[in-house]
Amino acid sequence: MKVYADNAATTKLSKTALDAMMPYLTDTFGNASSLYDIGQQAHRGVKAARETVAEVINARADEVYFTSGGSEADNWAIKGVAEMMAKKGKKHIITSAFEHHAVLHTVKRLEELFGCEITYLPVYENGIVRPDDVKNAIRDDTALVTIMYANNEIGTIQPISEIGAICREKGVIFHTDAVQAVGHLPIDVKAQNIDMLSMSSHKFHGPKGIGALYIRKGIRIPNLIEGGAQESGRRAGTEAVYAMAGMAAALKEANENLESSMKKMTALRNRLIDGLLKIESSRLNGDRENRLPGNVNISFEGVEGESLLLYLDMKGVSASSGSACTSGSLDPSHVLLAIGLKHEVAHGSLRLTLCEDNTQEEIDYIIDCVPEIIERLRSMSPLWERIQKERGNV
């Protein structure tokens, strides 16, 4: 059996998205900035895609700017606010200890560029930022609060509405990296007091290489990319109309099916968690209930995550041990260290992320495969032997 269970890394392009893309890859191939008819047809495609994305998150169409993906959106939001606010003497940025590296590396860079001071909030054992910590960290010179909507590794959902309300009350700009949340959770940027929000198409069955940044009307950050008048003069580059159309179609479809998809994935997620936690010396990482519907992240003592992934691959199961963006790193996950795991336990993590296409049969297959792989790896593990001796089991 072949089971794809790494949807947090990327999702399969939906037929709906592909069908929406095809006209702009074939007959309607014009440059959307051109005045002749074929260009204006493409321009109307861009306009329609923007309106669709905006509608899903309850934004205005002129508040949505297409980007190359979530990382660019994060960079633009954070660097833009930092540059703008540094001129006003505000160089303090608040984030969390377990953000995606698109955020962590960016704020680190801002320390070097503008001398910004960064506050990294704790996320505790359950993997959730506490609103009171945000409130207590805000200072007179705070320029930005950037807290992810849902963690990409352990799936914990953050109290975005509460954080947004605090930031609005304090007059501080609030950005959220919602790459893992858009298309999987209901989002309302107005009701949740979100000033800026990043998203990425390929996380909800759209094409790769396209994303968007929501910027609330009235926030005028500097451009990240100069060179043209596209995106209302704020993000240069010839529009990838086919990708925008595919993203919008995928997001609309995801939003229309959101309630049923969440219900199905939550049931599959819970079945998978219950099955895997029967394995000796296993633990669920992150809050049990307050997590993305399709996210399962479990650590197994005495096991190397990379070896577990290789054996699962031989069984036909595609999974990961953390973020795909750091898959080449031998260091333990900064997310798992942030919630208090020891290095050797963090190394033995398994992330399984589901979508609405997964079946109960696939879940049961994973539950059957993992225990025998864990048993085999532990039989060869000096670390597991040491753990057993310490527990008096040998």
Look at the alpha carbons of 105, 199, 88, 134 in this order and tell me if their dihedral is positive or negative: negative
* Residues near 345 by beta carbon (within 8 Å), at least 6 away in sequence: 283, 299, 301, 336
Which are the catalytic amino acids?
A: 325
Contact by Cβ (8 Å): 213, 196: yes
Of 170, 178, 179, 109, residue with least CA distance to 144? 170
Q: How far is CA 361 from CA 167, 330, 366, in A?
A: 45, 33, 9
Look at the alpha carbons of 147, 203, 201, 327 in this order and tell me if their dihedral is positive or negative: positive
Measured CA to CA, the distance from residue 72 to residue 379 in angstroms comes to: 44
Two structure tokens written together for 25: 């890859």
Measured CA to CA, the distance from residue 339 to residue 103 in angstroms comes to: 18
Measured CA to CA, the distance from residue 174 to residue 195 in angstroms comes to: 5
Q: What is the 3-state secondary structure (H, E, C) of 302-314?
A: CCCHHHHHHHHHH
